Amino acid sequence: MIIIPIKLSSIKLNPNYNKFGNYKVLDKIETRFKYEGKPLDWITKAIENDFNNKYNLNEFLVTQYGIINNDEIACEGVIHNPHNIPKQFFTKGFKIETDNRHFSIPYWENQQYFFKYTKVKLKCFGCNTLVNIYNIINIDSFNKCPECESLDSFVDYKYEKIEDALKRKENKK
């Protein structure tokens, strides 16, 4: 059994330990559009809630609409699935804006230290390749060589615990 040591110089105290933190989670990406120009058939249909129109409210939601000149309109709204819409719909006069909206989930920060392990390569007994331990595939209680797919073909190893690394660091002083 060998122990993969923590790199002592990498140990850092987590400044937020034992405090509430916030995870930022992507809510959804909203795509809005603005259009100024000649009335377009599909916009008119979307406004009229024409459900026979393929590009109806399922794809667009027109939130504002007005006539700016005798023959031109201004409108804005939301596009639900921009990737579903053929390119030719986005004619001259279109402006697209997107917005990544996030919301926060509070969580209790309980990791006291950040640290990294020393980069270690282990030799596979199956193919004799030196494999970086980060590349060894872990499956339940087995591990698998990424080169030859042998199972458990490495010397037994485990990762050093942070408590032990802190003791080592203390003894070095």
Kindly list the residues in this chain that would bind Zn ion in the complex (CB under 5 A).
124, 126-127, 145, 147-148, 150
Q: In sequence order, what are the residues at sequence separation of 6 or more whose Cβ sits closer than 8 angstroms to the Cβ of residue 128?
A: none
Nearer to Zn ion, 31 or 150 (CB): 150
Nearer to Zn ion, 100 or 135 (CB): 135
Q: Are 104 and 25 in contact (CB under 8 A)?
A: yes
Whole-number minimum distance, CB 145 to Zn ion, in Å? 3
- d(CA 116, CA 113) in angstroms, rounded, equals 10
Whole-number minimum distance, CB 124 to Zn ion, in Å? 3
Whole-number minimum distance, CB 149 to Zn ion, in Å? 7
Nearer to Zn ion, 3 or 127 (CB): 127
Nearer to Zn ion, 82 or 126 (CB): 126
First vs last C-alpha separation in the chain: 28
Whole-number minimum distance, CB 144 to Zn ion, in Å? 9
